[in-house]
Amino acid sequence: MNATKLRTLAITTGALAGLASPALAHLGSFTKADGYSLWVPSGAVNWCDVTYYNAGAWGVNSGGGSGPTPIAPDSGLWSLVSPVGGFFPSAAARNAAVGSAPPYPTVAPAGTIPAYIVGDHFPGRTGDNANLAVRNDTPAGTGSIQYDYALDTYDFGGPVPSSVTSGPVSMQFYFMPDPGTQPQPGRPARDKFVMSLKDSSGNTGLQWGYTDDNEIYWRDSSSNAWNYTGVYANIANWDGVRMDLDLTNDTFGIDYYNVNTNTWSNMVAAGTAMGSAMTNFTTVRWELADAVNVGVGGKNFFDDFSFAVPEPSSLVLLLGGLASLLRRRG
């Protein structure tokens, strides 16, 4: 192939790659390299909540760029969708103290509470001393915190999540819950943590989580009853979860990792029908109930997210066809 044709292929390749949305997001291990910081350059520590700075959108693993940089509340990859959260007990209190954009107060305003999601928090699962801490130490009746995280190309390793509409998609992570309450026979366990997998239209394909005594449960939609597994999460170390979605057939399966035995086992059979068909997988919703204050401030920790998605076959085939055409003409 001559130099002219090589230049043609390179230009076309760049143009095709440029069709993808900018790569912005990254869950990963919640280190500074992934775009997370426990301290931000805007005064009080309150503004390290993931909704107040460009969390996940800076660092060498997330496209580089400067950070942490304060942003307008909920304008980044993370957004608060409940009234309580972001260190405040209500939307009115948050709006009054925070306003619509930085600069934020340099001293924590009166009435702030420990209800937040922060990254770069200790301890880390893999020795990097960083994880994602989820906390809602509010009085019972205040309500759950709910945050949405928007997946993007760094999470999927290249493809834009909204463009992956068929085939298998897998998400794996590790977690360590707060100690929780002791099981009480005859008393229904209270919902504590819920993770929902959603598509770009807001459809929920499945939910996974654990009760206030840390029993793992799952269901295919928020309108159906929970399936209680009889498995209780390890409160002193990191258990793991792998969720396998089949976007072609709208089914899923869940595997569970027990750190005590160092083994993975199937928890939900592959081929289980989703509650709602998912066109794609673009959003992870995090929800933690109120009055979670056992252990280290009631903090629930998450770490080491990874994703597996189909190869961007259309782009590969197009580039392959172009290369073949140029070779024939060489």
**Those residues with Cβ within 8 angstroms of residue 253's Cβ, 6 or more apart along the chain or in another chain:** 243, 244, 266, 268, 269, 270, 271, 272
pTM attached to this predicted model:
0.87
User: What is the residue-averaged pLDDT of the chain?
Assistant: 86
The Cα–Cα gap between 97 and 100 comes to 10
How far is the CA of 87 from the CAs of 28, 53, 203, in angstroms? 24, 14, 28
> Residue 312 has what pLDDT?
65
78-80 β-sheet, strand order: 78-80, 145-150, 283-288, 191-198, 204-211, 215-219, 227-232
Look up residue 17 and give its two tokens.
């790659």
Q: What are the pLDDT digits (tens) for 44-86?
A: 788 999 999 999 999 999 988 888 999 999 999 999 999 999 9
Select the highest-mean-pLDDT range: 9-13, 127-131, 296-300: 127-131
Q: Give the pLDDT band (50/70/90) at residue 110.
A: confident
DSSP 32: G
Kindly state the average pLDDT of the residues 243-252: 98
Q: What are the pLDDT digits (tens) for 23-37?
A: 356 899 999 999 999
Q: How many CA atoms within 13 Å lie on the side-chain side of 112? A: 16
In a 10 Å sphere around its CB, with 0-12 CB exposed, 13-18 middle and 19+ buried, how is residue 273 labelled? Answer: middle
> Residue 243 has what pLDDT?
98
Q: How many CA atoms within 13 Å lie on the side-chain side of 326? A: 17
Kindly state the average pLDDT of the residues 138-164: 95
CATH of domain 3-178+189-329: 2.60.120.200
Domain borders along the chain are 3-178+189-329
What is the residue type of 91? A
Residue of higher predicted confidence among 53 and 322: 53
Look up residue 145 and give its two tokens.
């915190």
Annotate 275-291 with DSSP letters as a single string: SS--S---EEEEEE-S-
Q: What are the pLDDT digits (tens) for 175-203?
A: 999 998 776 666 778 999 999 999 999 99
